[in-house]
Structure 1
Amino acid sequence: MTLHPQARALIEQLHPSGPPDLSTVDVDRAAARGAALAQADRVPIEHVADLDADGVRVRLYRPRPAAPVALYVHGGGWMFHDLETHDAFCRYLADATGWALLAVDFRRAPEHPYPAPLDDVQTAARWLRSHGAEHDVDAAWLPGIGDSSGANLLAGLTVREPSALDFQVLMYPPTDRRWRLDPAADTAALTGAEMDWFWEHYAPGSLGDSPDVSVLRTPDLSQVPPTLVVTAEHDPLAAQGRAYATALAEAGVEVVGFETMGQVHSFWRQPLTMDASRALVPMVGALLDSHRARHR
């Protein structure tokens, strides 16, 4: 399928420049944060609070008292984005689904490569299990939602500690450091060269072969919790996302693979301009509601 017109409009706004420049990482981070903070029309949420999860900075979005809660892990190549860049989307997601979110401000590469980001996500998940009730959210059945590198961190967490989450939603996840990416799938939203660069700064050298990094290479995936894997048709990561869903199914895991046709990497957190995002958000909420009801 050709690019959806909305996806085409998105990539036309982007300026492909190749892999990032290490010397400008701080400047690029600040620019993205500044642009996010300048956004208007943030959805009002009943309660938003910055908290400390055993040393990890997190932000709680609670749309109503006693709401069920999900862990949210943002993307950005393990190097970019933070609580502010994803604030507007987390507000939208919490409001649209009725689910509270605990967004994780994990340490980022290259200053803090693997395993530091994954350690922080693990710490935040454990903290939420133990302290959710103190913040008037229900973490008895705990899912995780992650986009891109954040999805990789969630997948890595459930390989490392399968009981950490009861369900995971993986949006266009990178799952294999050694996967040969198809240049024909490159767009301004993400290229294979950029992805290789991000991998090498998150998990350099042989660290990229660790099972909780290259989750697709994990010998036994049978203990991974039920999973939704969402891929975008025009994304260099789509093939390995589909392969991970297949591997989970072959291991006996309850898994749904869902491909968004005509879409590119990063569409998920663009609900104001992407019909696919606006359609997918309530679907994710309904799926979480259904699985939670089965386990109450």
Structure 2
Amino acid sequence: MLYPQARTEVADADVDAGAGVRDLAAERLADREAALAETIRIDVAHVADLDADGVHVRLYRPEEDTPVLLYVHGGGWVFHDLDTHDAFCRYLANATGWSLLAVGYRLAPEHPYPAPLDDVATALTWLRAHGDELEVDTTLVAGIGDSSGANLIAGLCVRDPGALAYQVLVYPVLDALADTESRRTESVAENGFVAADIDWYWDQYVPSAQVRAEPEVSPLRAVDVSGLPPALVITAEHDLLRDEGEAYAARLADAGVSTVAWRALGMTHGFWRRPWEFDASRSAVRLVAGTLRDLAASLRD
């Protein structure tokens, strides 16, 4: 059953429904304008747009010398940017006390795989090289992403298991070839996210069917996940991506990777970055904040 907030609000903040012929430039502009019209925008001590070796990034630093979250936004690899996620990144930086480096990676279909993943890797390398001048603590860098952004974080960890100290995957898309119960039954009319949409997004990101089973594209298909960083996997009950996220959490745990899986009951895809609307989003952010606090403490001990 859908939670009342999910029934009364347009829960999907990460995907734009409908496949076929589309005016991507107009849709992207509409997304950005809607986000910039949001009246909720929390002050952060330091916010700066920067160039990370050719990748547009935005640093949110609540205070100096904090650990860093590498934040990768969702949008099906096709939509959204630093502005659409700005209000939430401000909220998350203040809630966790960590600095955030949000990555404005190149978008598909103009820039298909591996360009978005390469941009995330480039941003991380740049961050580690410039931590001192950015006044952040790069001895502890965790990754966090939602939807397709979670795919890029997971893909980065598969490409380089030592890249991050921790990975937070929020309703991740993890298998281009998924055939799960949630894919078949959780196409939710209320938020317009149906199975045909995710198929369309995959077509834009990875046009070559032969590449889609590659582990850094579909991390759930990785042969060995035992060396990957510990993980927090957040899913939504009424999300067609639910089962692949939870299957990935189970695989990590079975391989001995410290993993927590948390399902938001009654929620649909997209609830995560609307804490001013969804109780479940605020709870998820508190869970992330507590997890990061424990991570930092464990590394200090």
If the length of structure 1 is used for normalisation, what is the TM-score? Answer: 0.96
Looking at both structures, which has the greater relative contact order when contacts are Cα pairs under 8 Å and sequence separation is at least 6? 2
Amino acid at match of 1:183: R
The aligned residue for residue 154 of structure 2 is: 155
Aligned to 2:281: 277
State the partner residue of 2:174: 175
Q: How many residues align?
A: 294
**Are residue 248 (structure 1) and residue 252 (structure 2) matched?**
yes
Structure 1 distance, partners of 2:63, 2:113, is 35
Partner of 1:48: 47
Separation in 1, partners of 2:11, 2:166? 35
Q: Which residue of 2 aligns with 1:75?
A: 74
Q: For structure 2, which runs of at least 5 residues remain unmatched after alignment?
A: none
Question: Deviation string for 1:227-259 (max 9, x for gaps)?
Answer: 001110000000011100011112111111111
* Residues 36-75 of structure 1 deviation map (CA, whole Å, 9 limit, x = unaligned): 1111231011000001111111000011122221100000
> What is the aligned-residue identity percentage?
53
Larger helix proportion of the pair: 1
Partner of 1:24: 23
Q: After TM superposition, which residue ranges in structure 1, 4 or more long, deviate above 4 angstroms?
A: none
What letter is aligned with 1:200? D
Q: Does 1:92 align with 2:91?
A: yes
Secondary structure of the residue aligned to 2:162 is helix
**Secondary structure at 2:212's aligned position in 1?**
helix
Structure 1 spans left out of the alignment, 5+ residues = none
Shift of 1:190: 1.8
Deviation at 1:189, TM superposition (A): 4.7
Q: Which residue matches 1:115?
A: 114
* Residue range with higher mean Cα deviation, 38-47 or 229-238: 38-47
Mapped partners of 2:264, 2:89: distance in 1:
21
> 1:22: how far off?
4.5
Q: In the alignment, what sits opposite 1:135?
A: 134
Q: Could you tell me which amino acid in structure 1 is paired with residue 220 of structure 2?
A: L
1:11 Cα deviation after fit: 3.5
**Shift, 1:279, TM fit:** 1.4
Q: Which position in structure 2 is the counterpart of 1:144?
A: 143
CA contact (8 A) 1:75 1:151 kept: yes
Aligned partner of 1:186 in structure 2 is 187
Deviation at 1:191? Answer: 1.2
Q: Which amino acid aligns with 1:209?
A: A
The answer as to whether partners of 1:45 and 1:63 remain within 8 angstroms in 2 is yes
RMSD: 1.6
Seen in structure 2, the aligned counterparts of structure 1 residues 143 and 94 have a Cα distance that, compared at 3 Å, is: same
Q: Which deviates more from structure 2 when the two are superposed, residues 247-256 or residues 5-14? A: 5-14
The alignment partner of 1:233 has SS state of strand
| Separation (CA, whole Å) in 2 of partners of 1:266 and 1:176 | 19
- Is contact 1:94-1:101 (8 Å) kept? yes
Report the equivalent of 1:223: 227
